[in-house]
């Protein structure tokens, strides 16, 4: 049987591609939206001023490498999407932040698996290099390149130690990949070349199996329970009531909050409520949303004082946030 060319189905052959770009983000809400393809997280601003973030990235259909920097302190809660693994290397020792309620150990890397809960607090000026890929593919490539299983992923902690500063070594290796000119990206476009380069950089950082163990922190549990009770009280419970609820002194609760979030309870809760208000105002319909009603729903009883605190923190009034037309979001991951 003969087939006529005109009757043959047309099949488009798509070559694997590597995309390179820079995302410049001015609002905390934008950061959450453009990273939604990888992270299922809630972001809140912890320091006053312009949020400001810049993300430089390389991406294939199955892997992502990026470097991020923030102009304001922030907190990230939520999780990585299931089936993925992310390995991070902070670029600056002076801005390592707090991961899962403890200081980032020196000479270490940090990783997260899809579905694991995240609770990260980063200071102003924080910078980070991250690569994200399918966990199953990572395990297979790690075994191929190193000759051993990636069993460190199953040990119940999130920090990886090495004989040297593998944090700096991996950051340097990933930085070189990220800095490749677009003319050379085609070399990484096929046969999982970018993924192999990322895992290879990780293996070459001389990983060893001894790790920094992370034990559950009682103070972190106090912070979580106090925060939960504060929200359940409709943002009204005073700190003294929270202390009674969790069974510790005011000084102990304050120390726990400072250790985990960098601020005492009263200050953190005010910032938390301001972020909640901003989230609603930034997505609300000006014809249907009342600034006063939003403020009252999060425990701000005096409209004038709320407006002043909001402006001092975010650099614009609540009404300006509400009236501002949604900006065209940068293309996300």
- Give the chain's domains with CATH numbers: 19-204 (2.60.120), 218-323 (1.10.10.60)
The chain-wide mean pLDDT, for the chain, equals: 81
* Residue 90 CB contacts under 8 Å (≥ 6 apart), including other chains: 96, 97, 104, 126, 127, 128, 129, 167, 171
Percent of residues in the chain assigned helix, strand, coil, to nearest 5: 40, 20, 35
* Single pTM value for the model: 0.77
Q: What percentage of residues in the chain have a pLDDT greater than 90? A: 26
With 90 as the cut, is the pLDDT of residue 84 above it?
Answer: yes
With 50 as the cut, is the pLDDT of residue 213 above it?
Answer: no
pLDDT per position as a tens digit, 265-308: 999 999 999 999 998 998 888 889 999 999 999 999 898 999 99
Q: What is the mean pLDDT of residues 6-25?
A: 63
């Amino acid at each position: 049987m003969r087939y006529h060319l005109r009757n043959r189905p047309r099949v488009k052959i798509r070559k694997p591609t590597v995309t390179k770009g820079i995302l410049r983000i001015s609002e905390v809400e934008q950061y959450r939206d453009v990273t939604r393809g990888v992270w299922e997280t809630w972001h809140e601003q912890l320091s006053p001023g312009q949020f400001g973030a810049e993300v430089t990235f390389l991406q294939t259909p199955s892997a992502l490498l990026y470097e991020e920097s923030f102009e304001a302190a922030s907190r990230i809660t939520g999780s990585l999407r299931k089936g993925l693994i992310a390995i991070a290397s902070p670029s600056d020792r002076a801005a390592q932040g707090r991961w899962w309620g403890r200081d980032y150990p020196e000479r270490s890397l940090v990783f997260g698996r899809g579905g694991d809960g995240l609770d990260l607090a980063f200071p102003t000026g924080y910078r980070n290099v991250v690569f994200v890929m399918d966990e199953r593919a990572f395990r297979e490539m790690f075994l191929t390149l190193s000759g051993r299983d990636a069993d460190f992923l199953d040990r119940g902690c999130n920090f990886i130690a090495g004989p040297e500063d593998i944090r700096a070594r991996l950051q340097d290796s990933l930085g070189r990949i990220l800095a490749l000119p677009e003319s050379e990206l085609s070399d990484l476009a096929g046969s999982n070349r970018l993924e192999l380069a990322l895992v290879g950089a990780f293996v070459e950082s001389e990983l060893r199996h001894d790790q920094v163990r992370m034990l559950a922190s009682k103070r972190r549990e106090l912070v979580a329970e106090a925060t939960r009770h504060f929200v359940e009280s409709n943002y009204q419970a005073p700190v003294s009531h929270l202390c009674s609820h969790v069974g510790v002194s005011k000084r102990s609760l304050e120390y726990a909050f400072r250790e985990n979030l960098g601020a005492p309870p009263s200050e953190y809760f005010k910032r938390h409520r301001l972020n909640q208000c901003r989230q609603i105002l930034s997505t609300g319909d000006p014809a249907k949303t009342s600034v006063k009603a939003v403020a009252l729903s999060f425990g701000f009883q005096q409209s004038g004082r709320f407006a002043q605190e909001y402006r001092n923190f975010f650099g614009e009034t609540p009404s300006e946030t509400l009236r501002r037309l949604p900006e065209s979001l940068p293309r996300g991951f």
